[in-house]
Each structure stands twice: as structure tokens, then as C-alpha cells.
Amino acid sequence: MINTRLNEQDPEVFRLVEKETERQNQNAEMIASENFASRAVMEAMGSSLTNKYAEGLPGKRYYGGCKFVDVVEDLARDRAKSLFGAEWVNVQPHSGAQANAAVYLAFMKPGEKLLGFDLSHGGHLTHGSPVNFSGIMHEAHFYGVEKETGRLDMNRIRDKAKQVKPKMISIGASAYTRDFDYEAFRDIADETGAFLWMDMAHTAGLIAARLLNDPIPWAHVITTTTHKTLRGPRGGMILVGRDKENTLGVVAPKSGRVKNWSEVLDSAVFPGTQGGPLMHVIAAKAVAFGEALQPDFKTYQKQVIRNAKAMGAAFVEMGYNLVSGGTDNHLLLIDLRNKNLTGKTAEQILGRAEITVNKNMVPFDTESPFVTSGIRLGTPALTTRGMKEPEFEYLAKLINKVLSAPEDDTIHLGVAQEVKELCERFPLYDAAVV
């Protein structure tokens, strides 16, 4: 055990941090929305910047003493802009859901219509779900994937948009394994007079590495998390790609002045939906964007996709049904109905075997969201540890071993040992991360 201030002062919390680090070290982490941030990112998050109030923006704060955090926030903004080729960013949203809340506040009035990607087909809660503010405050309509292909059909989405006439169309997903046709979405948005919003929370790292289609030139506004494929601290961000014709101009109610997106979005973050920004997290975002600008980030992201494709092919060979038949990105969605298993059971027994996945609805699911018919697997975290195609193919076999013997605890515990040995070959953190 290492000696730290935390250990000396509060051994109870320290031991829990230590246990969690041990769990992350010894476990095959396959939750698609998780990743392992670098030590440098975590050090910035654990820094003195947590003490600083800095409401406002660099150079325009409501508090004194901001001369250093101003530079930090400018660094984060400049790095994010060059990483994504964006004209404008706001790095203050505390999370992905907060970034999305600011987009709604900026562009939608209560009761106006949204056309979003159906949650049960891969979308996200904040895209109009009736249990989320987005669906409670607005009239949400949905598009989904086709039953036969598991993919979006742009003609069907166009028809739906013409019928609904939404104020805003959202793109982006938590469990969609294929890429989006942003140009076609923009065409539909222009034809129907809607704003186009892309939530790239899951795929931001792959987009930054230019391995997937780029939404920046097409969507009016883009939101993301910074902690999934982007591998930064837990947080959110809003970007605007282009506003050349000021088609995005919004008229200020009192003065009648045409405001641009940046003004509207900045004030939707603060004071609209948040108070003081988390400057320690913004520093960690700057560090993560700096990492993502290095050439080896692209190598990492390429491997993330290669690993997902290799694992997908291994599952198909073993008779598993992948929604859409495979993947273009970092995740796989397995429909377990032909294996007579629910997502809930699969998540539980894989957990016994030290493989962490999450149960997930599949399109046209017949089970409830608490049970589900599928599991979602992601490759970003284990790829960060250095695992490549052979390890992911081996893990697919281990998963199959567990799922083929749902009642056999001896097999589950045997697999847990194999997972532990695999993880030991790809060390993560050498001590409790504090």
C-alpha cells in the first residue's frame, strides 16, 4: 500500500479508491462509454484548480483571481478547435447531458417539436425520452432503424421530418454501430427548416482521428462528452462548425439585434443551465485534447475500430446476431434472443467472470429496459491497455464460454481467472490513483 495524504487522513475512502483501482486493473472493462484517462489527465483533475470560482468566460469573469484559469480555458478551447476543425467551442458543460440541456435552451422553446433517434434503437435519453427533461419539456418524435437491416434509412427519415416539421433534428447515439450520413441529414434539415444537432458523445475520438464521417461541416451545433472515445476527464463540450452565412442568427427579443450562435450558446451554458465552471476539469480537458492532437492518438483510434471488427467477426462465427451485422465504430450490439438469454442475465453472469458489459435494448425489443434482449460491448478501454485483435478474439471466446453455460458457476469463475491473467499482461495503473 502506498502512503498518501488521503490514506493518512481518511483511510476509509482511500481503501475504496484502492479497491476500485484494483477492480479496474483486474477486470475486462467492455462498457462502450468508458475509457481509462491518463495519469496526466487525472493529475489536472486533482489539482488546486478545483478551488477556483470563474463564472463567465476568459477575460469576462464575474470573479477576480482568474488570470491563470483564463489561460487554461483558452488552451482547452484552442486545442478543441484545432482537434475538430471547429470555429467555436464552449468547454464548460459539466457533462454530456448538460451540454445537451444548453442546446435545448438555446434553440427550442417548451412545447416545440424535436425529431430524435429512438432510445430503444440506439439513441440517448436526452434526445426526447419521456423520462428526461428533453421529452418532458418538448414534443418529441422519433426515427429509428429498419427491422431488416438494423440501419437508418435516410428516405424514411426525410418522410418523417416532412410529416413532423420539427424545430430541431438530433443525430447521435449510445448504441448505434454504423456511421451517420450528415450531409443527407443537413439536406433534410434545410428542406424542413429545422436546426441540425449532432451529439457525438460516443464517437468524438474516432471523429477527431478522422476515422468516421465528420459532422462539423454539416450540423448547426455539435455536443460531446470528453470521457468516452475521446479519453479525457468526465465532462461535456459544445462546438459550432461553420456559421458563414449567419443562417444561424437568432434575434435578441429586446434589441432586435441578430445574435450569432456563439453568444446564444455561451449564455445557454452560463447563466442558462450552469453556475461556476469546473476549472480543474477544464484543465484536464486541455490535457486530453493535447494528447488527442498527438499522432499516436490516431493509431489508438484505428486499433479501437480494428478490435471491434475482429471481435464482431468472432461473435458472428460463433452464431451470435449482431444488430446491423457488424460495426463501423467502437461498439457491438448483440441480440441474444437466439441464445435464449436476456441482457440482464448476460450482464450478471459476465460480471461473475470479471467481464463488465451492460445490458442494452435492441431495436424492436420485446423485453423491458430493465431486462432487455441485448448486450452492448465497447473496445475503447481495453484498447487503451494495449490489447489488439488476438486478445479481443480470445475475449469473444471467453464471453461465449460464459453465455453457453449460464448456470455453471465453476465455468464463470474459471473464466474470471483467465480474464485476470489476461489483464495482468496489460498493466493499467500501478497503484491506487490518488
Ligand X SMILES: Cc1ncc(COP(=O)(O)O)c(C=O)c1O
Binding mask 72-111 for ligand X (x = CB under 6 A): -----------------------xxx--x-----------
145 close to 294: Cβ distance less than 8 angstroms: no
298 is known as an active-site residue: no
* CB nearer ligand X, residue 100 or residue 383: 100
Q: Report the residue from 25, 132, 225, 345 that binds ligand X according to the rule CB under 6 A.
A: 225
Interaction between residue 124 and ligand X (CB under 6 A): yes
Tell me phi and psi for residue 369, to 5 degrees: -60, -20
53 is known as an active-site residue: yes
Q: Report the residue from 25, 27, 92, 126 that binds ligand X according to the rule CB under 6 A.
A: 126
Q: Provide the minimum distance between the beta carbon of 203 and ligand X in the complex, in angstroms, as a whole number.
A: 9
Interaction between residue 199 and ligand X (CB under 6 A): yes
In whole angstroms, how far apart are CA 17 and each of 42, 186, 296? 13, 45, 30
Tell me phi and psi for residue 234, to 5 degrees: -65, 120
Q: Provide the minimum distance between the beta carbon of 173 and ligand X in the complex, in angstroms, as a whole number.
A: 6
Interaction between residue 383 and ligand X (CB under 6 A): no
Q: Provide the minimum distance between the beta carbon of 51 and ligand X in the complex, in angstroms, as a whole number.
A: 23
Give dist(CA 79, CA 226) in Å, integer. Answer: 13
394 is known as an active-site residue: no
Interaction between residue 357 and ligand X (CB under 6 A): no
Interaction between residue 359 and ligand X (CB under 6 A): no
* CB nearer ligand X, residue 114 or residue 173: 173
Identify the burial level of 351 via C-beta atoms within 10 angstroms of its C-beta, where 0-12 means exposed, 13-18 middle and 19 or more buried: middle
Give dist(CA 89, CA 76) in Å, integer. Answer: 9
In whole angstroms, how far apart are CA 285 and each of 34, 46, 49? 16, 13, 13
Our CA angle for 29, 380, 433, nearest 5°, is 60
Active-site residue identified among 15, 151, 234, 337: 234
In whole angstroms, how far apart are CA 212 and each of 133, 178, 215, 337? 30, 10, 9, 30
224 close to 199: Cβ distance less than 8 angstroms: yes
55 is known as an active-site residue: yes
Give dist(CA 255, CA 288) in Å, integer. Answer: 40
* CB nearer ligand X, residue 25 or residue 273: 273
Active-site residue identified among 34, 53, 187, 298: 53
Number of residues engaging ligand X in binding (CB under 6 A): 15
Q: Near ligand X by CB under 6 A, which window of 76-84, 141-149, 171-179, 213-221?
A: 171-179
* CB nearer ligand X, residue 124 or residue 178: 124
Tell me which residue of 120, 186, 176, 117 sits closest to 150, measured CA to CA. Answer: 176
Site for ligand X in 17-36 (CB under 6 A): 33
Q: Provide the minimum distance between the beta carbon of 32 and ligand X in the complex, in angstroms, as a whole number.
A: 9
Strand 139-143 to 113-117 pairing:
parallel
Active site residues: 53, 55, 199, 225, 228, 234
The contact set with ligand X (CB under 6 A) reads: 33, 95-97, 100, 124, 126, 172-174, 199, 201-202, 225, 236
